[in-house]
Each structure stands twice: as structure tokens, then as C-alpha cells.
Structure 1
């Protein structure tokens, strides 16, 4: 299957705010890569940085807790864009990213960003805005883990992860991201499904009522 990066990424809020000429240049300079399940994109600590856009499927975002353990902190589904750059004071990669299943991505290296910056010097400000958005998401996720009850936490996480009302995650993945046991996650998802708010499938959860999940996440239901 082939993908038109421009049409996919224009559904991304950050990308949609960029000038049309910059949108086209980002896609032209990027490299489309098809990934097999579990295939690495980059690892925590890698010196090579740049942007990564998800055209299809999902990427796992993992962080090392110690030498023997990694924790899943998030999923990036199409049309998500993530990454960073060392060109303006950034450091090496801070997460490990690999394919959740079969996925297609567009990678835009620092060298490509340098070329783009010749005609679009504000691209570095744009990248900083993207990184700020990622940080904002992480901070709110941490607050949810600390403050929300499990049912509200799950609802908030499903809303945050969903693309086109679907979350490409196994129940074990959701349990890990919400700090719950698999059994507890299964019980909560079963109740949400019985309430008509979600539909569970193989390796995915479909959101049937974003409004209902929002009420739960806000403690109103």
C-alpha cells in the first residue's frame, strides 16, 4: 500500500499550521519507510536526531527504567509527528521507538532540516513548538497517573491515544501505560464496553462515545 504523506499529515494539528510550501518541503525531504512489527526506528541515547511522522499504524514509545527493564509510556498513531533536533541545543534521543505492528513512517533527518532551513529559516522554531507539544502531553499524562482514579485514568488515556476513534493497543499495553494490572485493565474495559462507550477488538479498542469517556475522565460520570 502506498501513502501520500502530504494528505496524511495535513490531519496533524502541528503540521496543518505550517505554511503550504513548508509542508511540501518537509514531505519532499523525508524518507518513507515501511516497518515490520517490532522493528526499531531509533533507540534511547541515539545521537542522530530528527523528525518521525507516522503515516500508517503505530509506534511504541519506550523508556529504560534500568539495565533490564523498559516501560511503555505511549503510542504514536498516524498522523502523529514526533522527534527532536540537536541542531539548536537538543540532546540525543530520550525514548526508544519501534513499530507496534506493521507501520509506515516518514523520517526527516537533521541534515534534511538543515536543507529546509535554507529556504525556511523558521523551521527551527516550528520544531521547538513540536517538542513543546510533546512535553505538554507528557506532563499531563504524569498528572493523570498521580491524580485520577483508574476508570478516569483509562478514559483519559484512551482519548489521548485515539486516532480516528481507534487505539491500536493490546490490553496489556494499556495496562502498562496506565499503571494497572492486566486483570484490572480487563475489568475496567469490560465495564466501559458494557456501558456502550468502547468496543474491544484484537489488538485495538474502538471509541464509541468520546463524549461519554470525556465525562468519565473529568470525574463527571
Structure 2
């Protein structure tokens, strides 16, 4: 299924101070030289995606580097067994799609707009031109893939060492802390999504979440979770 995109805006995005503020939430982007920031933004386009639409599909050819400006993007992957494995949620300021651009491999996962979402896209041709002809851009892209690798390794270590209660508490806190204050009331997150992120069964996830609700740490509605006591939840995450 193709991505459903409402509008595409070419060029000129460097003048948007609001977009710059969003992208500067990324420590990687914030550390770039001003000239390189301008170069990336001048070559990029802004795309508005409808809820549940595909930005790109697993197995497709590289289509560029992306950053979330608003909304939420979920990276989804299905194992050969057919088991669905949701493994990452991306929000404003997060970059994605770099690996396939660097090694020219097919996309590993689906990238899906989970809600009405706006993304910045550095198209494939523009990315490759920068990577081949700008040493500053090339070094920056390598630094970003290294940052992503460290993050992934950290998640794998946590998944294999922490008990389910700690993992799930950590996931809730991580997602809660990344949301703007006005959007924190309800995290749009299903039990299945939390289970996939934690690498545990849905049954285990449901048991832990109901325990947290009984302790007054969270509130739950269908498909949504509210964090009520971040301090006590952090104690469980760090135990």
C-alpha cells in the first residue's frame, strides 16, 4: 500500500523557525554547523501524511532521510513467522530512514504515520549528492548512524537484563517524557505495542499494566495510557 500524502511543499523550509525549533530537539541536528543545517533544510521537502498511511514500506528502495515535525511515526516489522513486531515510536524531532540510504539496502520496516503527521524528507537524490560531495554532511550522517546504533544496543541490553515490570515502567516514562506537556494526558499506546517494545508477551504486559493501575501509577482507557505518578514509576524502572 502506498503512502497517503495530503500535500508536498518543496524548498524554502529553512525559513521556518518553528521547524528549526522542532528539529533542534534532536541532539544530532542541534550540534550541526549552521551552514549544514541550512543546506539540509533547503534541499528538503515537507510532507503531510494522513493517519495510518505508509511513508515507506518494508522491502522498498531507499527514498531519503526523514524527520518527524509533528504527529507520530511508527516503525513496524513482521518476522518471517508472520508475527507482528512493533519496535519503535518516533515523535517530533526524531530522524529515521538513514540506514538504507547509507548502504542502499531495501527498507527493513514499514514507516507508518500513526496520526495526522508532518515529516521533513531529504529526498534520495539530494541525500546521495550531499553524502558523496560534502565531507561535512558525510561525517554528520555517519555520526547519526552511530548514535542510532548506540541507542539500539542500549535497548537490547535493557530488554535482556531488566524484568518486565522495570522494562514497561521505563517505556512509559520514556514516551511520557518525550511528549509536550499539553499532550501528556493520554499516550496513544496499545498493550500490543508496549509488549513489542518490551519484548514480552501481551499477557505479561496486561498483567503489569493492571498492577500499575491498581497502585495508582497509571490510568488506562482503550488504546491510551496516562502516567499519574512518574516518581514512583521511575523507582520501579530503576529497581
When normalised by structure 1's length, the TM-score is 0.82
* Conservation of the 8 A alpha-carbon contact between 2:99 and 2:145: no
What is the alpha-carbon distance in structure 1 between the residues aligned to residue 92 and residue 192 of structure 2? 21
Residue 124 of structure 1 deviates from its aligned partner by 1.4
What is the alpha-carbon distance in structure 1 between the residues aligned to residue 40 and residue 228 of structure 2? 34
**Which residue matches 2:159?**
145
Where 1:47 maps in the other structure, the secondary structure is: coil
5+ unaligned residues in a row in structure 2: which ranges? 1-15
What is the alpha-carbon distance in structure 2 between the residues aligned to residue 23 and residue 201 of structure 1? 41
Matched, 1:23 2:37: yes
1:20–1:74 CA distance, 2 compared to 1 (3 A): same
**Which residue matches 2:127?**
113
Whose helix proportion is higher, 1 or 2? 2
Where 2:36 maps in the other structure, the secondary structure is: helix
> What is the aligned length?
218
5+ unaligned residues in a row in structure 1: which ranges? none
Dislocated runs of 4+, deviation >6 Å: none
Using the TM superposition, name which of 28-37 and 113-122 deviates more: 113-122
* Conservation of the 8 A alpha-carbon contact between 1:197 and 1:207: yes
* Conservation of the 8 A alpha-carbon contact between 1:113 and 1:123: no
**Which residue matches 2:238?**
218
When normalised by structure 2's length, the TM-score is 0.77
Residue 86 of structure 1 deviates from its aligned partner by 5.5
Matched, 1:61 2:70: no
Where 1:105 maps in the other structure, the secondary structure is: strand
Give me the CA root mean square deviation. Answer: 2.9
